[in-house]
Amino acid sequence: MSGIYVHVPFCKSKCTYCDFASYPRETGKAELYFACLYKEMKARANQYRKKKFDTVYIGGGTPSFVDEKFIVGAIRQIKDKFDLSAEPEITIEINPGTLTEEKLSAYKAAGVNRFSLGLQSADDRMLERLNRIHTLEDYLSAAEMLKGENFNADALVGLFDQTEKDLEKTLSVIADSGASHVSMYALKPEEGTPIFSSYLNGDLPDEDAVADLYEFGVKYLKSRGFDRYEVSNFAKKGCESRHNLNYWRRGEYLGFGVAASSHADNRRFTNTEIIDEYIKCILSGHFAEISSEEITGDEIRSEYLMLALRTEAGVDHEEFRRLFGKPFEATFKEVLKSQGKYMDISGGRARIKPEYLFVQNSIIISFM
């Protein structure tokens, strides 16, 4: 089955590390933006009426920052226009400083059954330095509201002067708060973000220090019952993100809104990042695509390998043969010989060994 992604580009303020399409100064356009979003959904539904969808993910930006009526409206449009499975996974990203009981009640009534809280750090001073709009107390309050729900929490590794003790505090707060899933990301300062200058000045941990911290985090999460199933994702048994698993299995998905990407019928296409341009295109009866490419032949195989090798499950030999008509081990005999110490080839699968997942890029490149 396929997935649906909805991008909400509005937020109260932009975090220093944020490289996503998010715009604090554009919130006055929310009403018009969502009207265009609904119009785009209707147009795409006509194209893909025969596809069945199993997941919906509402991300941003900060979806929980806008009035809940917009989120409810988007979900209603999706349910009305698309063929959803009997029990779809519907996720919304939430900044802990923006969640209220009223919003949560509206989300749940609309069908949201998975939540993703952006904690990042349990240190209030660090949160302030990152320009986060919430405190640790806000996170604990939001987690209490979500008690008994299926929710994820984000944690960042590689922050200013971060120690194992700091990371352990963040991860222990997450584990103690009832989260069923943890997304632990290594900070990657992107050019053009405020934190990039700190990176250039040497104010952030180097790659080796980040790798050590990350390894510590992996072991700690394991001790708390979170199994790693992808490079940066850990879950209690049965609580893996179905939406993200679809990405890593090279599944199909439709993206709606500013900067949203899609993959359908071996075509990848992406919308403009400029809100005014997006609105103008949709109101004039056109899609807001700024890029589109057909994926064929070796590109399909490369994408499949790149995504599968990021996961704990790795490459299924039988699936590889079915998809590409060749046996995996024979196809990559020389690669497996050179990369053998990093790989686990057993049980009909090829996996990158857990201790090397953090540096998986250099290993994966050898298969391209």
Crossing angle, helix 30-47 and helix 68-81, to 10 degrees? 10
Q: What is the pLDDT of residue 289?
A: 97
Tell the burial category of 237 from Cβ atoms under 10 Å away from its Cβ (0-12, 13-18, 19+). Answer: exposed
pTM over 0.85: yes
Q: What is the pLDDT of residue 224?
A: 98
The model's confidence at residue 257, banded by pLDDT at 50, 70 and 90, is: very high
Determine the average pLDDT of the residues in 311-324.
96
The tens digit of pLDDT for each residue in 35-63 reads 999 999 999 998 998 999 999 999 999 99
Q: Ramachandran region of residue 88, left (φ > 0), alpha (ψ -120 to 50) or beta?
A: beta
- Amino acid identity, position 220: Y
Q: Where are the beta strands (DSSP E) in the chain?
A: 2-8, 52-60, 83-94, 114-120, 151-157, 181-186, 227-230, 233-235, 253-256, 261-264, 267-271, 289-294, 315-316, 343-346, 349-352
Domains identified in the chain and CATH numbers: 2-248 (3.80.30.20), 300-365 (1.10.10)
SS3 93: strand
The tens digit of pLDDT for each residue in 165-223 reads 999 999 999 999 999 999 999 999 999 999 999 988 888 999 999 999 999 999 999 99
Write the DSSP assignment of 114-127 as a string of letters: EEEEEEE-S-HHHH
Q: What is the pLDDT of residue 66?
A: 97
The model's confidence at residue 1, banded by pLDDT at 50, 70 and 90, is: confident
SS3 272: coil
In the predicted structure, residue 297 carries a pLDDT above the cut 90: no
The rounded mean pLDDT for the chain is 96
Q: What is the pLDDT of residue 201?
A: 86
Q: How many CB atoms lie within 10 A of CB 83?
A: 14
Q: Both ends of the chain: CA-CA distance in Å? A: 27
Q: What is the pLDDT of residue 199?
A: 82
